[in-house]
Amino acid sequence: MGRPKTRADLLTAAAANYEKLNTCISGLTEQEMTTAFDFSGDMKKKEAHWKRDKNLRDVLIHLHEWHLLLLNWVHANQKGDRKPFIPEPYNWRTYGDMNVEFWKKHQNTSLEDAKRMFQESHTGVVKLAESFSDEELFSKGVYTWVGGSTLGSYFVSVTSSHYDWAVKKLKAYKKMVPVCKTCK
């Protein structure tokens, strides 16, 4: 399936990749869920997240915090409180620093809490997406606060695309150690 262009496609892709991620997670043992990722030996993994996210909790918290970015952004702008998607003092050039702050903020969050928070924020994002029409989600210019993109592209980014990123990260972990037999 290509990148979603309708609400139905968005919801289907979000649900499918959410399920794929949860299936992958359910294939991990308790020890594997808390074992630190170590991608330092793979020189191809240069992006910051390969060093930042050190375990399953970190990955789930990252997803959760990006859900919250979307939820807070949409709700604030719907109320007329014009806010950018990336909150100050960050911007699209410095959002990596924001991701590090999310990571730091949750170093004492338990894996169980991270799972619950991720599930709850996923549900919130899906419910919010369901409240918009195809035109509101995928036509440019509907909401001035979205800028030159579409609202739906933000929903796709924080759901199906981000879940796909998480599955790829777990698959890379699987290659390091014999884990997640359902991540194939």
- pLDDT over 70 (residue 24): yes
Across residues 119-124, what is the average pLDDT?
98
Give the per-residue pLDDT at 88: 95
Q: Is cis: bond before 89, omega within 30 of 0? A: yes
Tell me, yes or no, whether 39 lies in a domain: no
In this structure, are residues 67 and 124 in contact, taking their beta carbons and an 8 Å threshold?
yes
- pLDDT over 50 (residue 171): yes
- pLDDT over 50 (residue 111): yes
Tell me, yes or no, whether 85 lies in a domain: yes
Tell me, yes or no, whether 139 lies in a domain: yes
Tell me, yes or no, whether 81 lies in a domain: yes
Residue ranges making up the domain that contains 164: 7-23+49-176
Give the per-residue pLDDT at 178: 52
Across residues 63-78, what is the average pLDDT?
98
pLDDT bucket at 35, cuts 50 / 70 / 90 = confident
CATH number at residue 80: 1.20.120.450
Tell me, yes or no, whether 55 lies in a domain: yes
Backbone angles phi, psi at 106, to 5 degrees: -110, 20
Give the per-residue pLDDT at 180: 46
Tell me, yes or no, whether 181 lies in a domain: no
Print burial letters for 30-64: b (CB count within 10 Å at least 16), e (below 16).
eebbebebebeeeeeeeeebbebbbbbbbbbbbbb
149: closest CA among 159, 165, 137, 161? Answer: 137
Give the per-residue pLDDT at 183: 54
For 170, the enclosing helix (H) or strand (E) is helix 162-176
pLDDT bucket at 41, cuts 50 / 70 / 90 = confident
Tell me, yes or no, whether 35 lies in a domain: no
Give the per-residue pLDDT at 156: 98
Give the per-residue pLDDT at 179: 43
Give the per-residue pLDDT at 130: 98
Per the prediction, the chain carries an average pLDDT of: 91
154: closest CA among 170, 174, 140? Answer: 140
Tell me, yes or no, whether 184 lies in a domain: no
pLDDT bucket at 51, cuts 50 / 70 / 90 = confident
pLDDT, one tens digit per residue, over 128-167 is: 999 999 999 999 999 999 999 999 999 999 999 999 999 9
Domain count, the chain: 1
